[in-house]
Amino acid sequence: MQKRKLGNSGLEVSALGLGCMGMTYGYGPGGDKQEMIALIRKAVELGVTLFDTAEAYGAANEELVGEALAPFRGRVAIATKFGIKHDASGQQFQDSRPEGIRQSLEGSLKRLKVDAIDLYYQHRVDTNVPIEEVAGTVKDLIGEGKIKYFGLSEPGVKTIRRAHAVQPVTAIQSEYSLWWRRPEEELLPTLEELGIGLVPFSPLGKGFLTGKIDEKTTFDKSDFRNIVPRFTPEARKTNLALVDLLRTIAERKKATPAQIALAWLLAQKPWIVPIPGTKKLERLGENIGADAVELTFQDLHEIDSAASKITIQGDRYPEALEKRTGL
């Protein structure tokens, strides 16, 4: 596995990380705990050194990651997030107050079984707390040795600049893939200017770009894709045009659609580190194999040209969730 540096921070990680959310949360029933531990450890064996979790995914997710990676302390980087919590009824609420950040951090340190968080993201911008106050709190915690690097998830570019002026931001986590390219408008140029890395989540379009989903696919009732406009049967049927494009390139490259989608992301900038998630060992190997897929200038031109003629149907989030993003 090749290595990449997230911007100018000095944090060097594998070119592909592993998103761990779906192992316990969001995509239907979680995986068997021992199988998920084995999968995470297999990822380390295959060269993955960046693992992503969050307080908002539930205690079980951070605990799983912490237990799985306990034998590899100092060899891997664990990213987690603060700022979204659940009340007694299970409803999400935002809390990026300084005392809230400190409370979240102590909980994450305990669940992950670490002395310091390698990369600590604000999960979503909290409009009730100035970003300068958030960045200042993180700066203090870095000074205390409890955090190594600071990140933001789905912020707007003005927020990034304001935070970066207080405490240098190492990485931005935002959705970015062939079917969600809005980051190219403002985000990527800003990150390049400031020397900040990008960690794209849902680099496979929440599984759609793998080619394993069509308009007839049904999801478990607890799978959040059931409420995503882009995943209505009608939208899926239309959006398969993008998968067909990936499949065409994949056949020529002796690869899979998922590998082409990930290789395309890796080819965009040398400071981009996608974090595809999976609960299956065979998918883990497939995703990591994208690191060896070389797309030529002609390949990239062909993909961009064909993709520009495809109109993706459906919003990526329900309206209420989209409002929480800074993009």
Q: Of 279, 281, 316, 317, which is closest to residue 22 (Cα–Cα)?
A: 279
d(CA 7, CA 273): 10
Residue 149 designated active-site:
no
Find the catalytic residue in 25, 57, 121, 149.
Answer: 57
Q: How far is CA 49 from CA 25, 44, 72, 243, 266, in A?
A: 22, 6, 10, 29, 16
Residues labelled as active-site residues? 57
